[in-house]
Amino acid sequence: MRRFSQRNSLVTLSEINITPLLDLAFVLLIIFIITTPLLEQSVKLNLPGGGREAASKPRKEDLATVEVTRTGEYVLHRKRLTIQELERDLAAEFKANPQLGVVIRADRKENWENVEAILAVCDRQEIRKVGFATKNDK
């Protein structure tokens, strides 16, 4: 049998172990995959069906998403607003960006009088690009 000398035990490894780095990268990737949809939708809603894919997607800067909760509150940029505050904020955004379009997200069992109020606000502010968010039934 051959005896190991002490000289071999003092040799250091010159390779970098990248396994912990890959583990960290995968954990961060999973966290971002899970949290991204939550950041885009601030209010949990049961959207009506019947949606279809748009021919061309507008720029994110040109859209303002107004959400109507089941309790009749309006949410714009994660802020709960009254209808008067919503009109003021939409008017300011439309003045800054004339290409602004409004996307209305409302629950399918929502009292549609609140949605009509948003449509009236858009009409008064002469915002002509108004759409409804629906879920795709595919």
- Give the pLDDT confidence of 11-31 residue by residue, as tens digits: 666 777 888 889 999 999 998
The more confidently predicted of residues 47 and 23 is 23
User: Do residue 64 and residue 33 come from a single domain?
Assistant: no
Give the number of domains in the chain.
Answer: 2
Given a cut of 90, is residue 57 above it in pLDDT? Answer: no
**Cβ pair 69, 76 in contact under 8 A:** no
Average pLDDT taken over every residue of the chain = 79
The reported pTM is: 0.57
Given a cut of 60, is residue 8 above it in pLDDT? Answer: no
Here the CATH number for the domain that contains residue 82 is 3.30.420.270
**Cβ pair 118, 104 in contact under 8 A:** yes
Q: Tell me which DSSP letter residue 56 carries.
A: S
User: Do residue 66 and residue 28 come from a single domain?
Assistant: no
User: Do residue 31 and residue 85 come from a single domain?
Assistant: no
Q: In terms of residue numbers, what domain contains 119?
A: 60-132
Q: Both tokens of residue 52?
A: 């279809």
